[in-house]
Amino acid sequence: MSKVAIVTGGTRGIGASISKALRDEGYKVAASYAGNDEAAEQFREETGIAVYQWDVGDFDACAAGVKQVEDDFGPIEILVNNAGITRDVMFHRMTQKDWLDVINTNLNGLFNMTRNVWEDMRGRGFGRIVNISSINGQKGQMGQANYSAAKAGDLGFIKALAQEGARKGITVNTIAPGYIGTEMVLAVPQEVLEKKIIPNIPVGRLGEPEEIARCVLFLCSKDAGFITGSTLTANGGQYMV
């Protein structure tokens, strides 16, 4: 096995923890990022993990990015579709751009990346696809019609693709994190976070990115070969499916 992993959005937040966890498991990791060069460079310096800049919303850029990683490290064994953005706003104020930006990155990005690794994984008879969905794709969230739609789309995507990958040794799963203590969640208005969100998390705290990274490691392991098409919820008990 080539032990090469791509983590999209892999230089910050949950993605950075996933990149480091896979590196610690012995994978050659390629962490992609969209545009924050400074954060990516700092991540590269601190971790020694290779970083690549491309937009997961752009199919051709994903094709070129995947090819570059393959040229540098070899065939891709693991793809973690983690890249995601929010444009939170009540629907009566949501612009078409707010909608399209989120759908393009969070949902079209799944197609753009997965399609570009899929045929090779089929050919080699092994692959692990793990997506990062969200509690808000499961339960919906006011202010997130765009994000909830995209993250719910992920839940259908993995169920369909898991059926296609099953006979080819490819598992396709998603993780639905709850509120994790990253920049994305800390951007929520503090009053909303403290008064409306954290009190609804039975364990009484935000999750940690490493807690999601450990879920990814498990789903990528050989031991998880019988698990495909599943959604692993990791939300501190906030929503039970």
CB 201 within 8 A of CB 238: yes
Q: Which stretch binds ligand CAA (CB under 6 A): 28-36, 61-69, 99-107, 131-139?
A: 131-139
How far is it between the farthest Cα atoms of the chain? 51
- Token output for 157: 């995507």
State the nearest-atom distance from the C-beta of 198 to ligand CAA, in Å: 10
Piece of 3-11, 22-30, 73-81, 181-189 that binds ligand CAA (CB under 6 A): 181-189
For the question of residue 33 being annotated catalytic, the response is: no
Among 8, 144, 146, 174, binds ligand CAA (CB under 6 A): 144
Give the residue among 209, 78, 100 at the shortest CA–CA distance from 150. Answer: 100
Part of the chain binding ligand CAA (CB under 6 A), chosen from 97-105, 136-144, 157-165, 213-221: 136-144
Which listed residue (27, 33, 52, 147) is catalytic? 147
* C-alpha span between 126 and 136 (Å, rounded): 31
CB of 218 to ligand CAA, least distance (A): 20
Residues 29 to 88 in contact with ligand CAA, rule: CB under 6 A = 86, 88
Asked if 192 touches ligand CAA (CB under 6 A), the answer is yes
Q: How many residues bind ligand CAA (CB under 6 A)?
A: 20
Among 41, 48, 125, 142, the residue binding ligand CAA under the rule CB under 6 A is: 142
Does 197 contact ligand CAA by CB under 6 A?
yes
Active site residues: 147
